[in-house]
Amino acid sequence: MPASSTRLRLTFGLGFLAFVVAGSLLLLAWLRQREREESNRLFHALAQADAEFVRRMNLPRSEKLAGDLEQLLGMRIEFREAGKGMAKGDDTLVVTLDDKNDMVFTRSSVPSQLSLRDPATRNAFIAFWLVSGIVGWLLARERLKRAQSERLAMLGRVATSLAHDIKNPLASIQLHAQLMTPSDGEDAKALKMIESEAEVIAGLVNQWLHLANPLPPKLVKLDAAECVAAVARNLEAQARHAGVEIENGLTSPIWVMGDAQRLSQAFRNLIVNAIQAMPRGGKLRISADSHENMIPLRFADSGLGFSESALARGTELFFTEKEGGMGVGLNIAASIVEAHGGRLELQNDPKGGAVILVSLPSLAA
């Protein structure tokens, strides 16, 4: 994961944690306020009902009656001369009985009963945390998308500028290489190498341009097997230098509607990725299965296979576990395949090695 993305996630995570803590404290304060209000409401209702009972029954305003009511109601009760009672408060209430007497109710301080063991309290906090989590996830996703869009916009400007600066001298190199007449086998080999490396540079430029501006493919009927074979031939020298054998088992035409340049770019990324996954040499086997609607092309190498993180996020833009990697190759390959109505899947072979399945809609010959 890029350092900037990690910092963004960490900053957002700490901010969100602070929000959840502050929100939980505010929710607790609100619940306590509601609890206090409900307690006061019940206190006032009980006092008014008791005073109304004394008034209606015309009971004597005596200390004995006050003591009996205290035991019954669990609060202190006094009869006082009208107009001389204490001021009202949360724990004291003065109720006028008649022109001569007031009835004073005083309760003990009521401790909070809030607890996560209480279903109502627990559900309130769970609901708050759940809503906060959903909102936080949505905000984080939008924040990351925005950051990625900003990076892509910057990369687009850089890629367009580099493409303009590179394409002109690259075209000149390719033209002069084609016009040169080799005098012997060594010269012919050198020219072939120049042309091959120039094609690699052109592919890289096109890859960055695709990342900056992924235009829809220009679909025509083509043989995907021949497309793979052409890419494998161009990468044969690179594979041989790395000690990798490319075993191409695509012997029959595979007709699809596709953009030859874009599919070649995707296949090249997959083959290069496989070669780099076998630094000590190995074998890349390319094969295809026959299905009615989709044709899976199988790229299986004999390397160490994908890690759990790579299996889950290998096609994400800028995700890479290779030292010096940019994390764009598999992302571009997946986007090209998806633009052709197909899908790209990352797997591990139980016998060892990584497997990439490219499924493309089949087309009858």
Q: Which residues contact 316 (CB under 8 A, 6 or more apart)?
A: 327, 331
The answer on pLDDT for 348 being more than 90 is: yes
Q: Where is mean pLDDT largest: 98-107, 201-210, 252-261?
A: 252-261
Distance CA 57, CA 152 (A): 84
Distance CA 220, CA 322 (A): 35
Hey, which residues does 286 pair with through a beta bridge?
248, 299
Average pLDDT over residues 229-233: 93
Average pLDDT over residues 153-163: 68
Distance CA 135, CA 130 (A): 9
Torsional sign, CA 149, 153, 159, 164: positive
pLDDT of residue 220: 93
Distance CA 314, CA 324 (A): 16
Half-sphere exposure of 47 (CA within 13 A, CB side): 26
Q: Read off the pLDDT of residues 117-128 as tens digits, 9 standing for 90 and up.
A: 677 777 777 887
Closest CA to 80 of 58, 67, 63: 63
Give the angle 350-351-354 at the CA atoms, nearest 5°. Answer: 70
pLDDT of residue 345: 94
Average pLDDT over residues 350-361: 93
Average pLDDT over residues 45-62: 86
42 vs 88, more confident: 42
pLDDT of residue 60: 85
Q: Note whether 265 and 336 are within 8 A (CB).
A: yes
Give the angle 162-165-169 at the CA atoms, nearest 5°. Answer: 130
- Other C-beta atoms within 10 Å of 199: how many? 14
Of all residues in the chain, the percent with pLDDT exceeding 90 is: 25
Q: Note whether 247 and 213 are within 8 A (CB).
A: no
pLDDT of residue 105: 87
Average pLDDT over residues 30-55: 84
Q: From the centroid of its chain, how far is CA 207?
A: 25
pLDDT of residue 1: 45
Average pLDDT over residues 167-178: 77
Distance CA 210, CA 263 (A): 12
pLDDT of residue 224: 94
